Amino acid sequence: MQPLAPGSTIGILGGGQLGRMLAQAAARLGFDVAILEREADSPAARVAAQLIEGAYDDEAALVRLAKAADVVTYEFENVPAGSVDILTDHGVDVAPGALALAVAQDRVAEKTFLNARGAPTVAFAEAATPREAVDAVTRIGAPALMKTRREGYDGKGQKWVEHAADAAAVFEALGGVPVIVEAPADFVRELSVIAARGRDGAIAVYPLGENHHEGGILRRTVAPAQVTPALADQAERIARQVLDGLDYVGVIGIELFELPDGRLLVNEIAPRVHNTGHWTQDGCEVDQFEQHIRAVAGWPLGPTRATARVEMLNLLGEDADAWAKLAAEPETRVHLYGKRDAKPGRKMGHVNRVRAL
């Protein structure tokens, strides 16, 4: 694919905050954006050049998007595989591609892929029945974390199993759907690496971020994280193995566990721009959103060097009501998503507190 010229149209599946920030980045580079989204009043739709209203599996809406866009990307990984097929059948490229979606949508496929690429994970087993769930926990050992194989985010769709005898009940509590059972990771902290791969195979890796969660939801990321050169090299090697293995185009988020002995395990991958990469908006020469647009448009990747130390704090629910106080802080950059209703735990925005390196 030839690099897209300014004035071309980039299609985005999804109208949430990630789609909004992607659309804003695309506009800065001179692109128009067409959003496919069910809700007309979505955060992304209100900053895009065009809204195509419809479900993500609405064939007529997908055909309209294919005709409007020169390339299509997405803001979430649970895009129906059939939707990608419809778009490509109508002549528009989708990036990242179908393989990345297939791997990221199924936790068993994800860990199997990672291990095959030399990216280590915790031990795991799969189960599709209550009996298999008991067997899986028995093999892995309790306590173990049981997750639905598909969907689930921010701590949803998962439960701890304290004893193998409880596995069948936990399986049913998760909906009686296929699950993965994971061994616990004895980690000292969670890190993440944001990386990008261009259409020419070039790879750009951002400095690592250190992440802190509350109630299963990311609360803050501090970056660049304080890490040794050896740990940074290990993370970059993992990122390259994943990106090349997926023949990836775009930005990816890779969550990592740092073990006491300095080894890194991959927790999960997200084939899109990532919450733990929001710090790059005010801490890097080219942020993750512009980088993703550059990659899918076939442009050269931009530099990833950190220009500041940043603490990114998610604004959940009514946290965003403090916008005036936050905006008055000289070191704080406010990013609000334009969501209408503040609900407990809902990501309404984030702030980046910027300090010198």
The answer to whether 316 and 348 have CB atoms below 8 angstroms apart is yes
Gyration radius (Cα) of the chain, Å: 20
Percent of the chain with pLDDT over 90: 95
pLDDT band, residue 152 (cuts 50/70/90): low
Please indicate, yes or no, if residue 349 is contained in any of the structural domains. Answer: yes
Q: Which CATH number is 140's domain given?
A: 3.30.1490.20
User: What burial class does residue 31 get, using C-beta atoms within 10 Å of its C-beta: 0-12 exposed, 13-18 middle, 19+ buried?
Assistant: buried
Shared domain check, 176 and 225: no
The answer to whether 56 and 85 have CB atoms below 8 angstroms apart is no
Shared domain check, 165 and 70: no
Q: Which CATH number is 86's domain given?
A: 3.40.50.20
Count the Cβ atoms, other than its own, within 10 Å of residue 167.
27
**DSSP letter for each residue of 143-189:** SEEEEESS---TTTTEEEESSGGGHHHHHHHTTS--EEEE-----SE
Sign of the CA dihedral running 14, 322, 210, 228: positive
Helix axis angle for 59-68 and 81-89, nearest 10°, is 50
The answer to whether 296 and 73 have CB atoms below 8 angstroms apart is yes
The model's pTM is: 0.95
Residue 151: is its pLDDT beyond 90?
Answer: no
Choose the final residue of a domain: 94, 114, 146. 94
Phi and psi torsions of 17, nearest 5°: -65, -35
Shared domain check, 216 and 129: no
Q: How far is residue 177's CA from residue 189's CA, in Å, rounded to a whole number?
A: 30
| pLDDT, tens only, 60-104 | 999 999 999 999 999 999 899 899 999 999 999 999 999 999 999
Q: Which CATH number is 239's domain given?
A: 3.30.470.20
Q: How far apart are the first and last CA of the chain?
A: 38
The answer to whether 19 and 12 have CB atoms below 8 angstroms apart is yes
Count the Cβ atoms, other than its own, within 10 Å of residue 228.
9
Choose the final residue of a domain: 137, 164, 182. 182
Q: 3-class secondary structure for 266-296?
A: EEEEECCCCHHHCCHHHHECCCHHHHHHHHH
| pLDDT, tens only, 205-248 | 999 999 999 988 999 999 999 999 999 999 999 999 999 999 99
Q: Give the ranges where 190-256 is alpha helix by DSSP (H).
A: 229-245
Q: How far is residue 224's CA from residue 101's CA, in Å, rounded to a whole number?
A: 28
| pLDDT, tens only, 322-345 | 999 999 999 999 999 999 989 999
Please indicate, yes or no, if residue 306 is contained in any of the structural domains. Answer: yes
Nearest to 238 by CA among 193, 276, 198: 193
Count the Cβ atoms, other than its own, within 10 Å of residue 217.
16
Please indicate, yes or no, if residue 26 is contained in any of the structural domains. Answer: yes
| pLDDT, tens only, 109-138 | 999 999 999 999 999 999 999 999 999 999
User: What burial class does residue 283 get, using C-beta atoms within 10 Å of its C-beta: 0-12 exposed, 13-18 middle, 19+ buried?
Assistant: buried
What's the token pair of residue 21? Answer: 């920030």
pLDDT at 156: 72
Please indicate, yes or no, if residue 102 is contained in any of the structural domains. Answer: no
Sign of the CA dihedral running 327, 330, 332, 337: positive
Shared domain check, 167 and 287: no
| DSSP bridge pairs for 161 | 144
The answer to whether 52 and 34 have CB atoms below 8 angstroms apart is yes
| pLDDT, tens only, 240-283 | 999 999 999 999 999 999 999 999 999 999 999 999 999 999 99
**Domain span holding position 207:** 189-355
Please indicate, yes or no, if residue 259 is contained in any of the structural domains. Answer: yes
- Residue 315 identity (one-letter amino acid): L
User: What burial class does residue 242 get, using C-beta atoms within 10 Å of its C-beta: 0-12 exposed, 13-18 middle, 19+ buried?
Assistant: buried
Please indicate, yes or no, if residue 104 is contained in any of the structural domains. Answer: no
Q: Residue 335, Cα to own-chain centre: how many angstroms?
A: 18
- Total count of domains within the chain: 3
pLDDT at 157: 86
Shared domain check, 59 and 27: yes
Shared domain check, 346 and 218: yes
Three-class DSSP category at 36? strand
